[in-house]
Every structure is written in C-alpha cells, then in structure tokens.
Structure 1
Amino acid sequence: MRKIYKNAKQSLILFLYLRVNVENSYILVTGANGGIGQATIKELQKSPLILVGRDESSLKNLRDTLDDPKKHKIIQADLSSHEGIQSFITILKNARCKVKAFVHIAGICYLAGAKNFEYKSMLEMMNVNLFSALEVIRTLSRKPFSEYFENTVLLSSISSQRGVKSEALYASSKNALEAIVRGFAIELAPKVRINAVAPGMIFDTKMTGHLYSQEQKNFIESEYPLGTGKPEDIADAIAYLLSPKSKWITGQTLIVDGGNSIKGQ
C-alpha cells in the first residue's frame, strides 16, 4: 500500500512539475512593435511572451498595455544584419527561457525592379525576413531549448503566390519562408509543428501604411471581395495555428486575404 501511495505521490509531483513548466514556457514574437505584431501580442497575452523589436522604449510601452506586464519579457534586437542576429541569439541563450513557440512577424518590404535593386538593401531585407527566422529555429531545435519547443508560425504574404511589378525580391523572401515551412515540418515532426500565415493587404501597419496614396488604397480595397483586413485578422489566424485546435496541421501556408487570391482576372 505504501509503495502504491509513493508511486501515486511521485506521479502527482511529476504532473505538477510538467504543468508548471508548460505554464512558464514563453512564446517568442519578433516584430512585436508593428501593427500585426501588436495585435498578435494582445491576442496571445494569456501566455508568457518574449517581445522582440528594434525600439526598446516602444516594447516597454507595449508591454505596459498588457493585462499582466510583469510576466512578459522584452529583447531589443536589430535583425537587419548578421551581427545583429547573432547578438539576439546570444541574448536569447543567456536569458535561459523555456520557449514553447516562435512567431516570426518581423519584416521589411523592399520594393525594387530587376534593373535597379541594391544588394545592400536586399540583404538587409533577407536578414530580417528570412535568415533571422532560420537562426531562431535552429537555436530552438537544439538543447536545451528543444525540450520545450513545439510550434512555429512564420508570416508570409500573398505576394509569394503571384508576380507583381517591383515586388519580386520581397516575394522571394516570403516564398523562401514557405519552402522552409514545408521542409522543416517533415524534419521536426512529430514534436514541432511549423506553419505560415500569408496575409493580403493590411494597411494598418508601419510597413505598408506609408507605401500607398489614398487613391491607391481605395483601388486595392476594391479588389478584395471582403475588403482589406485588419491586423487582428492575422493575429487570430496566428493564434489558431498556435492552439491545440490546429494540432493536426503542419507544413501549411494559411492564406488570409479576404478572398483576393481566388478572384478571376
């Protein structure tokens, strides 16, 4: 009887230990300061979060708007260079946080044609959009992070699905993310799921808000059966892919674009 009681007690302790570890695991979110980033942070705030962005004061202000600011951490990082990415990875390792999920929202939209793009600007965009995500996934897939790591959502774009003048370079970075999703989903299964969300046009972000005139915005909106979206629409999709409700989904790109991609010419 004592042996049974002892085993039951050990099982309860193990259960409580695992539960505490799960509850104390963080969701790492890059691009936290942007429109989609802020909406995602607010949607996910019931879980402990690590907010990553370029502007530390903006990160602190964002954290202060959350229901329980003290349970979230911030990391100031510039992901536009190799040195900046490696510095961020070092900080992440030294923080010794248990990261259960990674959401990569950080991005640069570099518009340039085939005849006039600049290598330096293109490399900066690829560092932010692609290479930084690869480095984080590699880090989280290794010990000691791998014990807790179980999910990744990368932010793509519907521009990866079509040819648009001056957007080829930007689209190539998003296409690469989707290729990573498909390949890594096989490599990391069954422990880790990885998916992407491909938004249509979202005007309420720092990246896109200044790119178009009001006339252009009106025309673009007319091309969307459901109108253009809000950052919250993308945050909801990200939250779904992080939740147990999507437990049988991996290696996929979820298009969230108000029906734009299904329209005929």
Structure 2
Amino acid sequence: MTSSLFSLQGQVAIVTGAGKGIGKACALALAEAGADIALTARTQADLDAVAQAITALGRRSITVAGDISDQATMDQLVARTVAELGKITILVNNAGGSGPNHPLKMSADDFNAALLWNITPAYSMIQKCTPAMRAAGGGAVINISSVAARYAQKNFSAYGAAKAALNQLTRNLAQDLGPQLRINAIEPGTILTDALAPFLTPERQERMLRTTPLGRLGQPEDIAAATVFLASPAASWITGKVLGVDGGVEMPNF
C-alpha cells in the first residue's frame, strides 16, 4: 500500500523551468515515480538533456522551448501534452525568480516585471490546464514559491511580495477549483542551484550553515521529493497549503 500511495504510474506532468535546478530535479523525480513529463524552459539544449535522462528512466517526454510568460508558448505546451502524452494530471509551476532589490533604486517597471514573472504564468498555466485535468478525472498543481514570501528582510521587497502573492493565489485557487484539482505550494529555503551561486560568498554560506537547524543547505532533490509527495495519492486530502522545505530556518539568513 505504501508504494502505491507515492506512485505516479499513469500520470502526465508539465514542469516549467525544467532545464536545470529545481525544475530539472522535479521532472526527474516525477518520472522516477512513474509519470510521463512535458518539459519547458528557454534553452532547448537543457531540455534535451533532461528528456534524455527521462527516456533512460523508461518514461516518455516532450519538450517545448520558449518563454513561459508567453501565451502562445503556454497554449502550445498544453496542446502538445494532451496530443502526444494523452492527458494532463500534474502541473509544476517552477519558472520564476528574482534577485535582491534596493527599494529606492528599483523602478516601478522592474518591480512590476518581478511580480508578473512570478505570479502570472502560474495563474495562466493553471487556467489553461484545468479543462484537461478535469477531463482526466482530476489533477494536482504544485507552485514553487519561496521562504521569502514569509520572511521580513531587507532588499527583498519585490521577490518577497511576488512569492507571497503566489502563496495566496495557491490558497484561493484551491477553493475555486476543488474538489477535482488540488493546488498546493512549496516554499524552498536556500537551495544550492546555479541561480544562487553568484550570491553565495564564503561568509554568507558559513552563516547559512550555522543558522540552519539541519546543518546543511538544500539540494534541488529536496524540493523534488516534496513535489512528488504533493502530486501523489499520499497527499489526496491536502489542498490550499504551503509547505516549507527549508532545513528548519525560521528567519532570514541570506
């Protein structure tokens, strides 16, 4: 029974931002659990490498290279997933991100861009996938948020506000779209990815390790494991929730 609770056999997942980092790890973990995967990111070469790894796991995949904030890219992704993989039952909204910002130097246009990039594609993808998920008998959405959504810290007003909006979108859409769709979010803490590397000075890394109760920084696979759980039958009575996967950190340590 335990193995079937975490099995994704017969499922089809879309993963955005799937070329590297957390998105790549989520795609591979979902495939290992039995799902076929539709991959999207900007760089075709990155997608091809992930698709090859999925094939090696014995699962099917398709790739759609493009900007996930573009409506035509989203429409193509959804249509090709249904046509080539048969249905959509899982959506991982991983694309997003933003660096620190100075509140007196970041323009309104740049602030608006940070909000749009982190919230609007997720909203649109959920909207576009809902008919296919309902047709398949139901589905699970996992939005990749950030602990920045709940921390009060300097120089993160744009990113923090964007991810807080994503959390509230998660909660509200869970009310709108249940019981057929379950919609949850994950708040990663500090994860060792290429996106973090430019900011990870030795001093900052030492401080992060010292203030993390579990004594290490996160790996993309930590977020992938939580994603598999929330997509699986084991989480069938969980919706509208935000799961912190952060090593136990309860205050800013960036």
Equivalent residue for 1:90?
Answer: 75
Supply the distance in 1 between the matched residues of 2:36 and 2:81 (Cα, whole angstroms). Answer: 14
Q: Structure 1: which amino acid aligns with 2:199?
A: L
The gaps in structure 2 that reach 5 residues or longer are 1-7
CA distance in 2, matches of 1:115, 1:208: 24
Partner of 2:214: 226
Partner of 2:37: 49
**Which runs of 4 or more aligned residues in structure 1 lie more than 4 Å from their structure 2 counterparts after TM superposition?**
22-25
Of 161, 174, 177 in structure 2, the residue corresponding to residue 172 of structure 1 is: 161
User: Is residue 178 of structure 2 the alignment partner of residue 189 of structure 1?
Assistant: yes
Matches within 5 A, 1:1-265: 25-45=11-31, 46-66=34-54, 67-68=56-57, 71-79=60-68, 84-95=69-80, 97=82, 98-142=87-131, 144-148=132-136, 149-202=138-191, 204-227=192-215, 228-261=217-250
Distance 1:178 1:93 in 2: 23
Q: Tell me, in whole angstroms, the C-alpha distance in 2 between the residues paired with 1:145 and 1:42.
A: 21
Structure 1 window deviating more from structure 2 (214-223 vs 132-141): it is: 214-223
Normalising by structure 1, report the TM-score. Answer: 0.83
What are the superposed Cα offsets for residues 81-119 of structure 1, whole Å, 9 maximum, x if unpaired?
A: xxx521212312442511111001112223212101134
Are the aligned partners of 1:106 and 1:129 in contact in 2 as well (CA < 8 Å)? yes
Alpha-carbon distance in 2 for matches of 1:85, 1:126 = 15
RMSD: 2.0
Unaligned runs of 5+ in 1: 1-21
TM-score between both structures, scaled by the size of structure 2:
0.86
* Structure 1 residues 247 and 262: alpha-carbon distance in aligned structure 2, compared to 1, 3 A threshold: farther
Q: Work out the percentage of aligned pairs sharing the same amino acid.
A: 27
Q: Which has more radius of gyration?
A: 1
SS of the aligned residue for 1:249 comes to coil
Indicate if the aligned counterparts of 1:33 and 1:62 stay in contact, CA closer than 8 A: yes
Deviation of residue 150 (structure 1)? Answer: 1.1
Q: Which residue of 2 aligns with 1:12?
A: none
